[in-house]
Amino acid sequence: MKLSDLAQALNQSQNAALVVGAGISYDMGIPLGYQIPMLYGEKHPHLLKKYGLDIAWQQVANAASADRWKHEYHFVVALLTALIGSIELQQTFVDWLSEMKNMMGSPSDTHAAFIIAWFNRVFRHLVTTNWDFLLEYQVDAIYHPPEISEGIYPDVFDPVTHIFTDGRSTIIDPERLYFLNSIDEENYFWESRWDIVTQRSDLKNIQNWTRSLWKIHGSPFFLACPKCGGFSRWHHTEKRTVGDPCPQHPDETLQPEIIFWGQGIDTADALVWKRLRGRLQRSDMIVACGFSGSGSDAYLREVVENHQNAWLVNPDTGDWDTDRVRHISAGASEFATMLIDEFLT
């Protein structure tokens, strides 16, 4: 299969879903899978020793390539156990990730293409397993263009123009970005359509006119309260750290709203998974890109594989059953270029 075949299928689709994983951010310097905990251990040897994790980390470093994954698994399990019980480890982990280049977002044609294709309804549903904010950064750039920093506020009725690095431009209709929300019987205001869904408290915000970004692994930068369901989404309105009391419920402490390695939304929050699975199953096609579907993500891969019109855009097939998915050997940037060429410019 070729990207031109996928373009033809997308042209015929009315309700496509896009599922993206760590592979779409790899070119931006975001590590894959177990690389993250291993790098964290390398940068914090004193913490590994303090929590008795240094020997497990060293076993991975010394392991032969064929056995490395076994030792990585044992190290990650030990690290997760320690993280759950230590505010110090949690906050250090969050701080370390926030310093990683591009983790908090940066301009990216690849991610912008996916977001604009989503806003322009090439894809009706967008699902990501990534902790980084490269997708959210592109959304923010669309809603808050550079003119705002200069005191110029565009009218919400005006189309939004996005310019890619090669100079080509694409236009987003304002109705794709805003909807009218009622204040009372006579007054209305324009509200942004997009929202993030990570946990069940977010489900109440889903309406027919909203666009939900399903961030099903959460992010270490989201802080959650067990009672009210959450504190922040990407941009923090005020400085809070792990272990701080919730502003609304002082008897509860804020914890990272995150699904770690070895976990999945299917067990972490079955209600969110039920709603998302239903949307995927009702889609007329699903495209997975940069998503290995291995390990604890197998439950999501199986839903895609069981769909009658499933496509995989990856350099390799990994754990995917290619008898049930149409595989295109291509990277995320090549896929994004096809979207720009065929749908956005």
Which domains are assigned to the chain? Answer: 3-30+105-217+264-344 (3.40.50.1220), 31-99 (no CATH)
Confidence of residue 260 (pLDDT cuts 50, 70, 90): confident
- The pLDDT tens digits of the residues spanning 23-81 come to 999 999 998 877 888 999 999 999 999 999 999 999 988 888 887 878 888 888 899 88
Q: What percent of the chain clears pLDDT 90, i.e. is strictly above it?
A: 49
Counting other chains too, the contacts that 94-100 makes at CB distance below 8 Å and 24 or more residues apart are 94/220, 94/221, 94/242, 94/256, 96/40, 96/43, 96/44, 97/36, 97/131, 97/220, 97/221, 98/221, 100/29, 100/30
**What phi, psi does 99 have (nearest 5°)?**
-85, -10
Structure tokens at 169: 């431009």
Give the bridge partners for 327, in sequence order.
312
Confidence of residue 178 (pLDDT cuts 50, 70, 90): confident
pTM recorded for the entire structure? 0.89
SS3 content of the chain, % helix, strand, coil (to 5): 40, 20, 40
- Residue 101's pLDDT is what? 86
Q: Identify the three-state secondary structure at position 255.
A: strand
29: left (phi over 0), alpha (psi -120 to 50) or beta: left
- Residue 234's pLDDT is what? 47
Of residues 49 and 231, more confidently modeled: 49
Identify which of 205, 183, 208 has the alpha carbon closest to the alpha carbon of residue 196: 205
Rounded distance, CA 305 to CA 47, Å?
A: 41
CB atoms within 10 A of CB 116: 26
Q: Identify the three-state secondary structure at position 122.
A: coil
- The pLDDT tens digits of the residues spanning 208-227 come to 788 899 999 988 777 777 77
- Residue 277's pLDDT is what? 97
- Pairing mode, if any, of strands 211-215 and 194-197? parallel
Identify which of 234, 229, 237 has the alpha carbon closest to the alpha carbon of residue 255: 229
Contacts for 53 with CB less than 8 Å, ≥ 6 apart: 41, 47, 75, 78, 79, 82
CA distances from 266 to 20, 33, 127, 304, 330 (A): 17, 19, 14, 14, 29
